[in-house]
Structure 1
Amino acid sequence: MYFMEDTQVARTIQLNDGARMPVLGLGTWKSSHLPRTSLQGAVEAAIAAGYRHIDTAYCYCNEVDIGKALRSKMQQGIIRREDMFIVSKLWCTHHAPEDIPVCLNKSLKDLQLDYLDLYLMHFPVGLKKMGDELYPKKDGRILTSDIDYVDVWKGMEALKASGKVKSIGVSNFNILQLERLLTMCTVPPAVIQVELHPYMVQTDLVEYCKSKNITLTAYSPFGSPARPPELSTGDTDPHKLLEDPVVTEIARKHRKSPAQVLLRYHVQQGIVVIPKSDKPHRILENTKIFNFNLTEEDMAALRGLDRGWKACVFEDIKSHPYYPFV
């Protein structure tokens, strides 16, 4: 794993398959509630600000609008396809061998692309396929499947061999699941995307991935302050990471925003980060993280905030043997 800081916004890290991935990307989870013009505008604003990495997923239901933004900027001559690093994810209802390419092809069609730079298995847990339902239920309970994620990975490897995806990886896996996958795969995951921030440091996972040359992507780097209320865990829920006194004091010292400090915290460790925003001024602000360094004392103070708290859990599948958040 080799991280390179150059003079462009699209600083990159080299993956274990040789591809280069920009360390700063635009996250788009929870963007499907936006007016279509707002989401398209946010992606276009990100490209104008220098982003060359866009993260989405089949289940985000926003890939049509992202595709429109990409196509618009390509037609204007602002970007070429090869300039962009586009990430999507295989959804849990498409874990059967015949459904894996169907899910990818739908994403490619919506994004108006011929290939993806990175395709991730969204969760190790499969869900029953019932039409187009993202969260199939019966009697109020989500219906899961018993398809082994190792078998799903074989389908991911086939997609890479086809050339429709350049790199493959996983999301929301734990160390034991990664270990098992690595012992049985032909192509190791290039990337794992998980929740990471100072309230959820996951030191063991970070060190394990570095030892295996698997690049980490941090989602919800701000503690997901805009997450749905049903994900809140009550009065003790530390959901204001951006307002934490340790974070705000470090930001004051460096004359940066708390958001910039939290993004720098990841990038300085060689971790890719995908903040979500639909506000052009915030999108631009988030690029200004390459002109300062956090001290060792800063980094230690931020790690010291760890309380093992996850903003994003999927408790409806908690009883499944492959549930990763244990």
Structure 2
Amino acid sequence: MRIMHAERRGGPEVLTLAEVPDPVPGPGHTLVDVEAAGLNFADVERLTGSYLPPALPFVPGSEVVGRTADGRRVLAFAERAYATKALVEDPLEIPEELPAGAALALLVQGLTAWHLVRTAARVAPGESVVVNAAAGGVGHLAVQLARESGAARVIGTASTAGKRDLVLELGADAAIDGAADGYAGRVLEANGGAPVDVVLDAVGGPVFDAALHALAPFGRLITYGASGGADPRPIDPGLLSERSIAVGGYWLGAHLRRPGSNAAAPLKELIELTLSGRLRPTTGAEYELTQAGQALADLAARRTVGKVILRNR
């Protein structure tokens, strides 16, 4: 089989093509022919060694759409996904009519968005929800899932007019500039002058601090990333208790490692919502397996929009 692997740490340029023997599945694993693999920014970070540095040689990727030996088309987490074959655990059979890009958008990003809305923030009918970076891979799905959960008002933040237009197309009631300066005022204005019940934040830094001041009593701020940088300032416990607000975090990796965790039920719901047209995963460019380095370079440089995949033709 063919793989794209790195024999040294570095950027996307260190990936090279190699021919290796097919992996042999052990207990609990299934070998699949890879139709497409999903790309994530974490793949870039692992190549450089800045995030969970792997042993070398290293084959990136953690998610595939593929076909089992008995012909089932499946979606699954995988190790060594940048390949023509991969070993997977707990594969979920998916319909033929579900495009590979959409399916892969529902795995890491879709499950994260689902759990942010349902598990971490526990969005209730009638509440107001702000999604920071709402045009992003997780954010654009969280906007739609907040609406599905009965939120009375959904507000998305984004950095450009074009991204804000996309957020509105996806069903947000308002789309605003997400810059930290003036953030709380814009959020309150977009919510009819009232503070909001929930903020889902992947930006961090000064935006995180500003979001705290946009929360209503008993509001919740859930952080799941820090693309804007870490904020070294401590959270004032007095602010939390005075307004009865809560701050929490969420990471899908930790959730999936919990005993008894099961990704199948939320994934099935996400797939049903997508096939019915009620959820629209944003899909982007498709690259050949041998173009993995260019694909990751484009992803890292923010030249892509939507879920980027490597496809085996």
Same fold, judged at TM 0.5 (above): no
TM-score normalised according to structure 1 size: 0.26
Structure with more strand by fraction: 2
Structure with more helix by fraction: 1
